[in-house]
Structure 1
């Protein structure tokens, strides 16, 4: 016989697993939205993940390590994507004047132009969402997701 505490624990576990699956699906669907926009714009030399990298870099000048540390890239092959972005003219890569082993990246004009178009997509999305969600609704969702991020970060950081 499962007690009240056990039922509550099972309910929370099920909701937690539902949330993790939803986060994963939302990320994939968001990448689909970006891919659809790239197709609409006729951009074929960059993928959706690389487009997110560009958008997150924006006006900054970063090392490849900083891309990952700041959460701008979530995959394991960031060096490959940076290489492709440089080859296709979206990023400029420069050796650090202080440490010749380190390279910094910044957007080339082609990257700036694309991020402007993606920013316009985000503005259209925000405008369309206004009738469905309030800023307060989205802020509430963000607080929950930030709490999950902190929780998972603590699990990873403090696990022996």
Structure 2
């Protein structure tokens, strides 16, 4: 069974927040899916159980001022095999990654279509750790790791919109 979140539709939010001066892509919907049944490791499945909700919320939070009733749809499908491999890796956190397929569609603007595979690494997550965090002590099952990887992935999705 694929765990697919209901999409988030933004109604009226764009009217409440002033739009940026540059022509940023406006987003009307974000949808993140993760097939939790594909994670054969129970510990990995338990650790990443909230990933779809958390990643969707992180993307939406990074879109402040860029939402509206009309706009693009962002769809993310997380790579469950990579997710399990990262969690189970004996190599260590430094080589860990979060991967997924990202699709951007738009009902009326043909220039707003994109589809790509996004992989973010532990190294890229560095700026998203709290100042003073001992990165040598971070493990793939720590909350700090989880939060930083989600923030990094969301940041890359939003920055690639334009």
Greater helix content: 1
Greater strand content: 2
TM-score, normalised on structure 2?
A: 0.29
Q: Which has the larger radius of gyration?
A: 1
TM-score, normalised on structure 1?
A: 0.29
